[in-house]
Every structure is written in C-alpha cells, then in structure tokens.
Amino acid sequence: MDYDNLSRRDFLKYSGTLGATIIAGSSFTGCMGGGNKITIGSLLPLTGNLKDFGPPMLNGAELAAKQINEAGGVLGKEIKIVNEDSQTSPTAGNEAMSKLIDVNNVPAVIGAAGSGVSMAVVELAIDNQVVQISPSNTSPEFTDLEDNGYYWRTCASDELQAAAMAKYIREELGHQTANTMVTNNSYGRGFEELFVEWFEQLGGEVLNKDDPVRYNPQATTFTSEVGSANDGDPDSVMLVGYPEEGSIILKEAYNQGVLDKTDWILSEGLRSDSLAEQVGKNDEGDYVIEGITGTTPDPRVAEDAYDNFAQAYQDEYGSKPTTFVPHSYDALTLIALAIQAGGEATGPTIKENLPNVANPPGTETYDPVEAINLLKDGEEVNYSGAGGMKDFDENGDVRTKYCIWSINEEGGVELGEKLELPSSL
Amino acid sequence: MIQQLIFGIVTGSIIALGAIGLSMIYDILDLVNFAHGDFMTLGAYLTFLFNVSLNLNLILAAALGIILTGVISLILDKIMWKKLRDKGAGSITLLITAIGLALVIRNLIVFQWGGSNVGFDLPLSQNLNFHGIMISTSGVLTVVVAALLMIALDLILRKTKIGKAMRALSDNKNLARITGINVDNIILWTWGIGTSFAAVGGVLYGLNTVIRPDMGWFLLLPIFAAVILGGIGNPYGAMVGGLIIGISQEMSTIILPSSYKIAVSFVILILVMLIKPEGIFGEK
C-alpha cells in the first residue's frame, strides 16, 4: 500500500518534469567570432511550426554575407552569421537570444521569423542595446512598440495585408460574409482584428467576430475548430497560419466537405510550395486545394532588385527563393551597410545609421556590393531591397504592395494579379 | 453537440491507445517512459516508410510498421533497459534515460525523413454524413481499431497466463517472483504490447491528421493526463482517462474559445485529483 502511494507520488512528480522538458529548449552550437570577423546573430527556426521558412531565410542572409565578403567585407572584416534555432518557441527563442547576446556578443540579430517569438525576445534586444531586424514579423503590434529604435523589420505590417485581403474578398470576389480562423499568436490575432475592421468598413459582415476561431497550433486535432469556422455558412473563411498546422486544417476542411462549399482565402504565412502536397490528393489524383487563393506581399514590386537576387539565389542554392527570403537578404545587407557607414559594429551605431543607408538622400541601389563600395568612397547610399522595401518610416516599418497567390495544378504556388489597397491607406 | 462528442471519441481513442502502454510500462517496469510518444511517431514513420518509400499497401505497411516498432522496443530492452535494471538504476536514472531516448528517436526521424509534414499514400475522402452528423472514414477506423484492441487487451489480461502474470506482477512484485513467474519474459511482453499499441495510435493519428516528427511528443501531455486521471498503472483507467480527455477537449469548444481546449483537459484532471486523488480506477 505504502509502496504504491510512494511510487504514485513519484509518477506525478516526474510527469511534472514533462511540462518543463517540453518547454525547455537546448542550444549547444556556435562559438565566439575572431578578431578579423564581425559576428551577426540570427534567430531563425530550424524546428517547430515555422521550420519550413527558417532554412531558406538563413540562406538569404548567408548569400548577402557571401557577396559582401567577396567584395572585401565591412570595415576590412569578414561578416560571419551565427544562427540559433528559435524552435518557433518563445521560451527557446529567449534562451537562444540570450546566448547570442551574452556568448557571441553580437551587435545585431536577424529574426525572429514569427511575431510571437520576436515579441518575446525584443526586450532582451532593447535592454542590451542590440539591433533586432526581422525579415518576416508582420504583426501590427510592432508599429507602436516602445523600442528605443532597436527593433526594425524589412517586411510590411499586416495592417496593409489585412486591408488588401478584406478588399480582395469583399470587392473582387464579391463576398458578403466571412468568418475568421487564425493561429492564436501576435500574427494571427493582429491580422484578424484589422481584417474584421476593414471588411466591415467595406460593407461586409464577419459572422464570427464576437467568437472568433483562434486555434492553438499544438492542438491534437482541428476537427471542432474547422466546424466552428463554418458556423453560419459564410461565403468565405480567411485562414491565417503556417503550413505545418494549416495543412492539417485544410485537410480537415476537405474531409468535412467545407473546402469547396466556402471560399477559403489564405494569408502569406501559408504560401509554401509544399502546402498542397502536405494536404494531399483526392482519389482522382488531383490536389484538393488546387485553385485555392491567398494574399501575399508582392515580391515583384522590387522588379530588378528581386530578379537580380533571385538569380543569385538560384545559382547558389539551386532553388527559387521563397516567402521572406529576400527580406532576410535585405536585413543582413542593411546591418552591413549601417556598420560600414557608422565605422563600428555596435548596436547603437547600427541603430543610428540604418535610416541613413536605407532612406534618401544618397545614390539609390539594390546591389549590396555597390552600396558598400559607395560608402567606402565616402558617398551616401539609399538602399532599396530585394524584398520590396524602399524606406523606413519613423516606426522602423516599411511599406509594400500585395498580390494574389494561388495553388496551381502541380501543387505549386503561382503569383497572380496585384491587389489594390483601400484608398484611405 | 453530438458532432463534438464524435470528434472527441476519435481523439480520445488515439490518446487511450498511447495511455495504455505508458500505464502498463510504468506499472511493470517502474519506468516513466518519456519516449512513449516518440514510439507513436516512430510507428507512423515506419508505416510511412513501407507505404510510400517501398510502395506497399497501407494495411500491410501499417502491420509491418507496428510490428517493427514493437521489435525495436524489445531490442532496446535487451541492449539498454535490462542492463540498467540489472545495475539497479533508480527511477530518476531511468527517467532521464527515457528523455534522452525520446530526443534520439525524434532527431533520428528528422535526420532520416526531414522536418516537414508527410502523409500516407491514401487519397483523401470526404466525411460520411448522417443527417448532418459527420464522421471521417479514418475516424470510424480509429474508433473500431481502438475498441478491438482494448477488448483484445482485456482478454489477454483476464484469460491468458501472460496477462495473469502481468497482473500478479503489478500487485506484488516479490510475491510474483517467488511463485516462479518469469519476470524478464513478462517485461518483454509488456514492452511489445505497450509499444505496438502506441504505434497503432501513431498510425491512426497520422491517418487523421498528418505525420510530423513531434506529433507523439506533443501528444504525451494529454496521454500523461489520461494515465493519471484513470489511475496510474491501470490499463482500464488509461482507456477511460483517454476518452474523457479527448471528449472534454472537443466538447469544450462549444462554450469556450478553441484555443483553451488543451487547458480544459487539465482543469478536469485537477478536479478529479481533488475529489479522488488516486484517479478514477486507482486503488488506495
């Protein structure tokens, strides 16, 4: 009897450690940068829900570093990137950020990929005077963040995308009603709130706005969530999330017969070439989400800058750059330019010089090497990015244009026509 | 309402399949097997290997995948767990070893198959619809398979020598040894049954959603909750616990935002613990 009670207590105690172990991350990689190197941190996910995005984004930054290093580096030094896996987890991201700051002494960090992780680590960056530039945080919550100028991003806020999506669903597709279904983090909630505002302003009705579906991406199944997302038979459902759980949701929607019944519109977070494959095919061998559409920042607005980058990326890695990859190329380039312009690799210097190298006056260029050389000759530079960014505003935000994307017959992503923003934006 | 109940039974069946093994292994081996969820994942991936990479029929592939997962657990017992037991390793040592094993399995899976979601080679099919109440074909299969396995386990435990020996061992280890029960043999049976049940759960989970490297690891929390809720060491408790957790998660979405559904099962767990601390089927 006593034996049973004792071991039972042990069992409970050990199961408690499960919670701790699940949350706790581990990071063993990385080492100190040498005297002839400038070490820049990156906090991108190799595991977790955003693991599809992390590796190509890291490639984007590495490509910029390689081009700059081959042209003689910055201040005569080579740029080296140390990546820590954020695991798409706020807790693991925090540990990784501390490690980058305390062990690697980096002046700037590229990341995180997800808005939720960035929000969890941005305090560390501000307190330690380290510049944080995210290539992909689209949450509107960062615009008004009190960041002392240490937080920047090279992609545009979802304030614009939510408006573009609302206008697309309401005016181009002509839908009267919509439901929302979003991942429960800064990205999903921020997007949803602005979408509701814009959709109603455009004369539509969001049926579930008082009881929105905000799902936990780690849920075991999404059957009930998909059911609630169709309550009231809306004309369309807007889905904001990531491929890992988004593919399960779309598969479930097909199973429940609501994928064709309502018009599903996806955010840019789901724009992935592997999405269709992950959702699956029907018994005729066709991808069940063929023809589904979504909205995304339009990489083509950068025109030559993007083409030039995409070609270099293709030559280096043998594949096409995916979402937010040009933005991480821009992030590394801007950090390098700010260091070159300011004459030293410290957080405060980078922060001071970022607007100087990205905004007018100066010679406009999208080539990192040309930009560095101009700075070395003592001239001013106005960098416009491969990801479509032109200039930073006073909040460290950039603007961009949006377009439609869709899944084609082969299950790949195809970029479609450009979207107009509502005229008041 | 009925709809959520059905969804809940499907989810609960998968959790129950995992919980049974975790509970049995704890009971017989005094091992809190943190790697149990990853055996579910392994079962799904081995099935994926036979089904997609080697182009076998899904049912055959699942049978091979599940058996192979069970065999791997037996080999691990021979080369690892038995040695630890013989050296008199304490429960903390065993626990840490299990966490390590979980990490090894998961990372080997990522190493071999990559981090992205994969799926079985099976066309998607729309749900069956009975007057507005839906259930997916994979959901029907899940519930039927889980129910058959639970009945089979009940028969094994009550009617066979192995099952009786298992129950004897769980009641009193020393007494069981004295009566001549071959403990090593029973341990192997426990691993085999517990792990292959987990592998079945993993395959069914993969069929209902997708296959991903951390699927089992994330399932481990609800599984632990199910084991504790039902009464630790009691396979029947684990079945009931699993169903309660699954059903309460899905039913809660009627009144609460769905982002709270994981929390709901733990609130129920706390309530049961307050009223009956030994669990529903637990003995004082």
Distance from CA of B161 to the nearest CA of A (A): 24
Looking at the domain assignment, is residue B155 inside a domain?
yes
**From A18, A51, A213, residue closest to B34, measured CB to CB:** A18
Going by their DSSP bridges, the two strands A108-111 and A131-134 should be labelled as parallel
Q: CA dist A169 to A232, B131, B132, Å?
A: 17, 31, 28
For residue B115, the SS3 value is coil
Asked whether residue A180 falls in the same domain as residue A148, the answer is no
Looking at the domain assignment, is residue A73 inside a domain?
yes
- Number of A/B CB contacts below 8 angstroms equals 143
Looking at the domain assignment, is residue A390 inside a domain?
no
Asked whether residue A177 falls in the same domain as residue A145, the answer is no
The answer to whether the bond into A361 is cis (omega within 30° of 0) is: yes
Asked whether residue A248 falls in the same domain as residue A313, the answer is no
Instruction: Inform me whether the pLDDT recorded for A24 exceeds 60.
Output: no
Asked whether residue A89 falls in the same domain as residue A178, the answer is no
CB atoms < 10 A from the CB of B143, how many?
18
A22 with B220: Cβ contact below 8 A: yes
pLDDT band (50, 70, 90) for residue A14: low
Q: Supply the CATH number for residue A240's domain.
A: 3.40.50.2300
Interacting residues of B239 by C-beta distance below 8 A, sequence separation 6+: B16, B19, B20, B150, B230
Looking at the domain assignment, is residue B242 inside a domain?
no
Q: CA dist A159 to A36, A289, A402, Å?
A: 42, 27, 12
Please spell the DSSP secondary structure of A162-195, one letter per residue: HHHHHHIIIIIS--SEEEEEEESSHHHHHHHHHH
Looking at the domain assignment, is residue A389 inside a domain?
no
Asked whether residue A194 falls in the same domain as residue A336, the answer is no
Residue B215, amino acid = M
Asked whether residue A99 falls in the same domain as residue A184, the answer is no
B250 with A224: Cβ contact below 8 A: yes
B124 with A255: Cβ contact below 8 A: yes
pLDDT recorded at residue A293? 96
Instruction: Inform me whether the pLDDT recorded for B211 exceeds 70.
Output: yes
Residue-wise pLDDT tens digits, B223-232: 999 999 998 8
Instruction: Inform me whether the pLDDT recorded for A406 exceeds 90.
Output: yes
Q: What's the complex ipTM? A: 0.80
Residue with tokens 């820590």: A84
CA gap A134, A317 in Å, rounded: 22
pLDDT recorded at residue A29? 37
Instruction: Inform me whether the pLDDT recorded for A336 exceeds 70.
Output: yes
Instruction: Inform me whether the pLDDT recorded for A114 exceeds 80.
Output: yes
Q: Is B26's Cβ below 8 Å from some Cβ in A?
A: yes
Asked whether residue A277 falls in the same domain as residue A415, the answer is yes
Residues 102-161 on B with a CB inside 8 Å of A are 110, 115-119, 122-127, 129, 134, 136
Residue-wise pLDDT tens digits, B261-273: 888 888 888 888 8
Looking at the domain assignment, is residue A116 inside a domain?
yes
B253 with A10: Cβ contact below 8 A: no
pLDDT recorded at residue A8? 59
Looking at the domain assignment, is residue A393 inside a domain?
no
Domain that holds residue B175: 2-220
B10 with A218: Cβ contact below 8 A: no
Looking at the domain assignment, is residue B273 inside a domain?
no
Quote the mean pLDDT of chain B.
91
Instruction: Inform me whether the pLDDT recorded for A34 exceeds 50.
Output: no
CA gap B155, A91 in Å, rounded: 46
Please give the DSSP secondary-structure letter assigned to residue B258. G
Please give the DSSP secondary-structure letter assigned to residue A299. G
Domain that holds residue A170: 159-298+401-419
Looking at the domain assignment, is residue A348 inside a domain?
yes
Q: Is A218's Cβ below 8 Å from some Cβ in B?
A: yes
pLDDT recorded at residue A33? 41
CB B255 within 8 A of CB B30: no
CA gap A32, A54 in Å, rounded: 22
- Residue B117 vs residue A123, higher pLDDT: A123
Q: Which of A12, A255, A259 to mutate to test the interface with B (most CBs of B within 10 A)?
A: A255
Asked whether residue A123 falls in the same domain as residue A270, the answer is no
Taking CB atoms and an 8 Å cutoff, what residues of chain B touch A19?
Answer: 221
Buried b (16+ CB within 10 A) or exposed e, B49-82: bbbbeeebebeebbbbbbebbbebbbebbeeebe
CA gap B53, B47 in Å, rounded: 10
Chain B residue with minimum CA distance to A275: B117
Looking at the domain assignment, is residue B41 inside a domain?
yes
Looking at the domain assignment, is residue B225 inside a domain?
no
Asked whether residue A113 falls in the same domain as residue A230, the answer is no
Asked whether residue A150 falls in the same domain as residue A278, the answer is no
Residue-wise pLDDT tens digits, A389-404: 778 988 889 888 899 9
Q: Give the mean model confidence (pLDDT) for residues A295-323.
A: 88
Number of domains in chain A: 2
- Residue B275 vs residue A265, higher pLDDT: A265
Asked whether residue A144 falls in the same domain as residue A64, the answer is yes
Looking at the domain assignment, is residue B254 inside a domain?
no
Residue-wise pLDDT tens digits, A144-180: 899 999 999 999 888 889 999 999 999 999 999 999 9
CA gap A324, A322 in Å, rounded: 6
CB B20 within 8 A of CB B153: yes
Looking at the domain assignment, is residue A396 inside a domain?
no
CA gap B249, B5 in Å, rounded: 10
Whole-prediction pTM = 0.79
Quote the mean pLDDT of chain A.
88
Please give the DSSP secondary-structure letter assigned to residue A321. -
pLDDT recorded at residue A51? 83
Interacting residues of A313 by C-beta distance below 8 A, sequence separation 6+: A59, A60, A63, A319, A320, A321, A325, A329
pLDDT band (50, 70, 90) for residue A384: confident
Asked whether residue A284 falls in the same domain as residue A185, the answer is yes
Instruction: Inform me whether the pLDDT recorded for A27 exceeds 50.
Output: no
pLDDT recorded at residue A387? 85
Residue-wise pLDDT tens digits, A190-214: 899 999 999 999 999 999 999 899 9
Residue with tokens 């009627």: B254
**From A10, A47, A247, residue closest to B210, measured CB to CB:** A247
pLDDT band (50, 70, 90) for residue B194: very high
Number of domains in chain B: 1
